[in-house]
Amino acid sequence: MTSTNPLAAVPRMNPKMASLGEVFQIAFVPADFDAALRFWTETMGAGPFYLMEHIQAENCKYKGEPTSLDFSAAIGYWGDLQIELIQQHDSKPSIYTSWLQQGQQGLHHVCVEVKDMEETRRICAEADAVVLQEAQFRGGSAEVIYVDTHGGPGTMIEFWKGDDAGRKFFASIREAARGWDGSRPVRRRGE
């Protein structure tokens, strides 16, 4: 007997993956980084954006193979939602270069803060999600994994196990966004 329910064939998400945390960030890897910054600040009114240039990731792996990437990110807030724009400066294989090489546009990934990365990896594996890229920061006090959930463009999830320094930095950007008057839309970290 054939089901008439159109959702019957749709795979169900592992409810534990949703329980890992809430999305606090949406991220983009635009072909034109400067145009994306103008769009988010001038059209959408998000900001100010804080530019972190040539980020130093440690123990970085892409598809399980060690790599080192030269990339920058701009982070700002649109209300309470964090917006991240990413620009890779070299052509080494990564989730960023593969995205651009495929001609993808729009949402690249969402980010969820987690407390236990080992448990996060276990739950992702149970859901058949695959870790595509991973890295550590500040001597391993912060860690990220980017997981392909097999849902197509925009359904990759970054799981971030942050540290106090990262949380304070994000809080300072969010505070700068409250009542922002549009001046100095792009700032360097520490300004």
pLDDT in tens, 89-100: 999 999 999 999
Instruction: Give strand pairing partners of 74.
Output: 51, 85
Return the residue matching tokens 């983009």. 28
- Is the residue at 189 inside a domain? no
Confidence of residue 9 (pLDDT cuts 50, 70, 90): low
How many Å apart are CA 70 and CA 149, to the nearest integer? 25
Read off the tokens for 77.
Answer: 């807030």
- Is the residue at 33 inside a domain? yes
How many Å apart are CA 66 and CA 106, to the nearest integer? 28
- Is the residue at 184 inside a domain? no
What is the pTM assigned to this prediction? 0.89
- Is the residue at 190 inside a domain? no
Instruction: Judge contact between 57 and 69, C-beta under 8 A.
Output: yes
- Is the residue at 52 inside a domain? yes
The whole-number average pLDDT for the span 20-38 is: 96
Confidence of residue 114 (pLDDT cuts 50, 70, 90): very high
In 3D, which of 27, 42, 46, 11 has the Cα closest to residue 129? 11
- Is the residue at 13 inside a domain? no
The CATH number of the domain holding residue 38 is 3.10.180.10
The yes-or-no verdict on residue 112 having pLDDT over 60 is: yes
Phi, psi of 41 (to 5 degrees): -85, -45
The whole-number average pLDDT for the span 124-147 is: 93
- Is the residue at 4 inside a domain? no
In the chain, the number of structural domains is: 1
- Is the residue at 147 inside a domain? yes
**Domain span holding position 61:** 18-176
In 3D, which of 132, 51, 54, 73 has the Cα closest to residue 98? 132
The yes-or-no verdict on residue 8 having pLDDT over 90 is: no
